[in-house]
């Protein structure tokens, strides 16, 4: 094994939904880098995985009616899950970590405790806004129009006990790391951090690193009503997966610190500020680099489940082949910037670069080798200066390719490989082998031309192999390249006169796609997805409505009514004008009252305790909007208020000065 080591990671993705093209983009890029480094003789550790704790996962599982563990198991290990996707996409990760793995959970508990013992984690109060029905804490900035972002209801000020990490203590060192070293790349990301998240004069606020409002997380073992904040839990995966604070693995000394963490721009903040601060707290070496890549949009819009425009890498891989998709992703979008994914661009790239330029070069060259030499390109030939031009270009391209790959500039590196491919196509036009073939005397020259073509293709295949591993192998096989000629050590162009090739012809590498027909099909798939999303949206709305009704009903049943409910009851002051017993009843009194704007008759069951004289002239409280009822043949247009005291009733009297008809709240 080589002593050149290289440790590279992707983010560990949330298995809250199926992964999409954005996740595939990052993983393919990281894979290409891992393969490139292996090709260069490095001993590579390539880690990916899933980040399985937190409120979002807990909520999703609840929605699905399963336990959080069952939910994530399905998305990670289930059919067409995360592992299947990476297998399909030829991802060469050496390890896969799940944050629910026992060894990781136990390690996180030890890490949290160590930071606590050191005094870098302390107990404090987390102040925020609380939504009672959702039982959720929100920060001011998370609120939508000052209301709960989930349900839109009012929130109240609230506090909860929480643990905090003393990030403030490390602010100076983090600022130095960001501004005076190459730790964070591309450089533009440094400005994003310094302008938005860390103020190099004003410092850094301490970070809340525990939660008590949900339970799906790593429990703080010395205070188990708290779970560890999901980012602290997640970031340490990069070390626990090597054996930090656990016995499952034993590669920490060999591979830590990481050479590069590849992450999307939105999580650079966690990787470039808090992650180094956590490591500083434990006196651990910092990773050498964090690379914040750009985001892919679809047709100019952010991909989102509710819009139904989330692109499925499974579907695209199955339709166009994994290598075509991998190539498209890395050739088209400069890695450090945002990119706009469109179906037209995808098909155009496959047709132009892969079917036309690369595919045709390989099929034309091998077909001619077959036609003119039966695939037997023996030693000998006739050299011409044009061959040196091809070699010179190949040498130049290899150098530029390496520089670009070292800087994660995949689109530039592939551009260089394709410069060689185009030059080789031009070489065919310049040498016109079909003309040479007409005259037996030109045979040695024709042989040289064929061998130079094969050599140019071989070099190009080595260069594209980290991005298109299967395609590179098929090309090597078709050209009959021995193992030694497939490695990066053999990348330099050998003037072909003395080499020997035994080529075969193969099926086209990339069949041309009928753009119009294919776009129609893809649009249909997209429309279906949009309809699906709308349906899901409606279903979710209905479910929310139902849940709200259920909550209201529960409130009702628990005896609580809203102020609106109370205001529906119209209570008014009334003066008793007259009261007489109802015939044939020993309970009821028939009472005439003045309600201010009208006189009314009400019938009340208080005869046992009140005689007419007790009431006449008094001011009582009447429910004025009660549905009229007939009692013993008498109409009652309202109800007077009285307290039930044991087996008697006590009428509520108001002071005389309250005018008849006055509304009472
Ligand atoms: O953030 N374009 O996980 P996540 C490009 N669990 N890349 C995209 C993308 C898009 N539209 N959408 C996602 C998390 N990505 C945490 C990480 S690491 C210790 C914890 C890629 O599932 C991109 O790399 O939200 C982004 O950073 C990552 O997926 C976020 O994945």
pLDDT at 363: 96
Ligand 1, atom 16, lies closest to the CA of: 13
Q: According to the model, what pLDDT value does residue 617 have?
A: 92
Q: Which residue has the tokens 């009959």?
A: 480
Q: pLDDT tens digits for 417-463? A: 999 999 999 999 999 999 999 999 999 999 999 999 999 999 999 99
Which pLDDT does position 399 carry in this prediction? 97
> Which atom of ligand 1 is nearest to 14's Cα?
22
Nearest CA to ligand 1 atom 26: 264
- Give me the pLDDT at residue 555, please: 65
Above 70 in pLDDT, residue 496?
Answer: no
pLDDT at 499 over 90: no
Could you tell me how many residues make up the chain?
A: 665
Say how many CA atoms lie within 13 Å of 167 toward its Cβ: 23
Q: 230 C-alpha vs ligand 1 centroid, how far in Å?
A: 14
472 contacts 461 by C-beta, under 8 angstroms = yes
Pairing of strands 639-640, 619-623: antiparallel
- Give the CA distances from residue 451 to residues 17, 271, 387, 457, 459, in Å, rounded to whole numbers and listed in that order: 51, 49, 10, 10, 12
Q: Residue 625 Cα, ligand 1 centroid: separation in angstroms? A: 59
pLDDT tier at 558, thresholds 50, 70, 90: low
pLDDT tens-place string over residues 358-381: 999 999 999 999 999 999 998 889
Torsion of CA 144, 146, 149, 153, to 10 degrees: -130
Is pLDDT above 70 for 1? no
pLDDT by residue (tens digit) across 113-129? Answer: 999 999 999 999 988 88
Q: Give residues (CB < 6 A) around ligand 1.
A: 11-14, 22-23, 25-26, 51, 234-235, 237, 263-264, 266-267, 295-296, 303
Expressed in angstroms and rounded, the spacing between residue 4 Cα and the centre of ligand 1 is 29
Of 8, 11, 258, best ligand 1 pocket probe by most atoms within 8 Å of the beta carbon: 11
Most confident of the ranges 257-261, 494-498, 642-646: 257-261
pLDDT at 539: 84
Predicted TM-score (pTM) of the model is 0.82
Predicted pLDDT of residue 70: 97
Which residue among 13, 72, 260 is best mutated to probe the pocket of ligand 1, counting the most ligand atoms within 8 A of its Cβ? 13
- Please check the confidence at residue 2 and state whether its pLDDT lies above 60: no
Shortest-distance Cα residue to atom 10 of ligand 1: 22
At 497 the pLDDT is 63
**Under a CB-based contact definition with an 8 Å cutoff, are residues 47 and 31 in contact?**
no
Sign of the dihedral defined by the CA atoms of residues 432, 437, 439, 444, in that order: positive
- The structure tokens 């650079």 sit at 268
At 404, is the pLDDT very low, low, confident or very high (cuts 50, 70, 90)?
very high
Instruction: Supply 328's token pair.
Output: 């498209």
201 C-alpha to center of ligand 1: Å? 30
| Beta partners for residue 642, in sequence order | 651
How far apart (Å, rounded) are the C-alpha atoms in residues 537 and 532?
8
Average of pLDDT values for 227-232? 96
Measured from the Cα of 267, ligand 1's closest atom is 27
Ligand 1 centroid – CA 75 distance (Å): 16
Question: At 393, is the pLDDT very low, low, confident or very high (cuts 50, 70, 90)?
Answer: very high
Q: For 567-623, write each residue's pLDDT tens digit.
A: 888 999 999 999 999 888 888 999 999 998 889 999 998 988 888 999 999 999 999
What's the 170 CA to ligand 1 centre distance in angstroms? Answer: 26
Give the nearest ligand 1 atom to 262 CA.
Answer: 24
Distance from residue 608's CA to the centre of ligand 1 (Å): 77
Encode pLDDT of 90-100 as tens digits: 999 999 999 99
Residue 519: the pLDDT is 95
Mean pLDDT (the chain, rounded): 93
Distance 396 CA to ligand 1 centre (A): 36
């Amino acid at each position: 094994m080589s002593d050149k080591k290289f440790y590279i990671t992707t983010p560990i993705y949330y298995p809250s939904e199926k992964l999409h093209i954005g996740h595939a983009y990052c993983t393919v890029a990281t894979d290409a880098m891992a393969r490139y480094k292996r090709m260069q003789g490095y001993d590579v550790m390539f880690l990916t995985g899933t980040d399985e704790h937190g409120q979002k996962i807990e909520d999703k599982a609840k929605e699905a009616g399963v336990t959080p563990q069952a939910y994530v198991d399905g998305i990670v290990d289930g059919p067409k899950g995360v592992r299947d996707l990476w297998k399909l996409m030829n991802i060469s990760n050496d390890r896969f970590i799940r944050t629910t793995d026992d060894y990781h959970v136990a390690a996180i508990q030890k890490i949290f405790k160590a930071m606590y013992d050191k005094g870098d984690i302390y107990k404090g109060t987390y102040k925020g806004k609380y939504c009672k029905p959702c039982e959720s804490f929100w920060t001011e900035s998370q609120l939508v129009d000052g209301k709960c972002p989930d349900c839109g209801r009012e929130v109240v000020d609230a506090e909860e006990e929480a643990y905090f990490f003393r990030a403030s203590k490390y602010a100076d060192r983090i600022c130095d790391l960001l501004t005076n070293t190459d730790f964070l790349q591309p450089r533009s990301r440094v400005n994003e951090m310094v302008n938005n998240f860390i103020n190099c004069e004003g410092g850094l606020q301490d970070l809340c690193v525990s939660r008590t409002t949900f339970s799906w997380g790593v429990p703080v073992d010395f205070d188990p009503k708290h779970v560890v904040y999901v980012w602290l839990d997640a970031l340490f995966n990069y070390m626990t997966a090597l054996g930090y604070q656990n016995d499952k693995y034993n590669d920490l000394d060999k591979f830590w610190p990481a050479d590069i963490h590849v992450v999307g721009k939105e999580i650079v903040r966690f990787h470039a500020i808090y992650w180094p601060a956590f490591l500083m707290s434990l006196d651990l070496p910092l990773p050498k680099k964090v690379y914040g890549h750009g985001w892919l949009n679809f047709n100019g819009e952010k991909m989102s489940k509710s819009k139904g425009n989330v692109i499925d890498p499974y579907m695209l891989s199955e339709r166009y082949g994994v290598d075509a998709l991998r190539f498209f992703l890395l050739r088209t979008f400069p890695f450090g910037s945002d990119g706009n994914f469109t179906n037209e661009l995808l098909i155009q790239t496959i047709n132009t670069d892969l079917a036309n330029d690369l595919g045709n070069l390989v099929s034309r060259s091998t077909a001619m080798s077959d036609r003119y030499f039966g695939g037997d390109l023996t030693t000998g030939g006739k050299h011409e200066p044009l061959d040196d031009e091809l070699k010179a270009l190949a040498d130049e391209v290899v150098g530029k390719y390496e520089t670009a790959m070292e800087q994660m500039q995949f689109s530039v590196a592939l551009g260089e490989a394709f410069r060689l491919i185009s030059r080789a196509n031009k070489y065919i036009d310049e040498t016109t082998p079909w003309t040479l073939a007409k005259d037996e005397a030109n045979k040695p020259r024709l042989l040289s031309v064929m061998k130079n073509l094969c050599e140019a293709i071989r070099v190009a295949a080595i260069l594209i192999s980290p991005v298109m591993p299967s395609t590179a192998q098929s090309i090597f096989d078709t050209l009959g390249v021995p193992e030694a000629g497939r490695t990066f050590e053999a990348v330099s162009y050998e003037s072909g006169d003395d080499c020997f090739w035994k080529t075969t012809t193969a099926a086209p590498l990339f069949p041309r796609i009928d753009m119009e027909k294919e776009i129609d099909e893809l649009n249909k798939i997209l429309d279906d997805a949009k309809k699906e999303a709308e349906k899901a949206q409606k279903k979710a709305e209905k479910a929310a409505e139902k849940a709200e009704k259920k909550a209201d009903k529960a409130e009702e049943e628990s005896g609580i009514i809203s102020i609106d409910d109370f205001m529906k009851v119209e209570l008014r002051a009334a003066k008793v004008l007259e009261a007489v017993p109802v015939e044939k009843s020993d309970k009821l009194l028939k009472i005439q009252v003045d309600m201010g704007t009208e006189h009314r008759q009400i019938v009340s069951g208080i005869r046992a305790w009140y005689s007419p004289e007790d009431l006449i002239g008094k001011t009582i409280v009447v429910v004025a909007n009660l549905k009229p009822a007939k009692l013993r043949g008498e109409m009652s247009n309202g109800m007077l208020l009285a307290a039930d005291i044991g087996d008697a009733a006590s009428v509520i009297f108001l002071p005389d000065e309250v005018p008849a008809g006055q509304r009472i709240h």
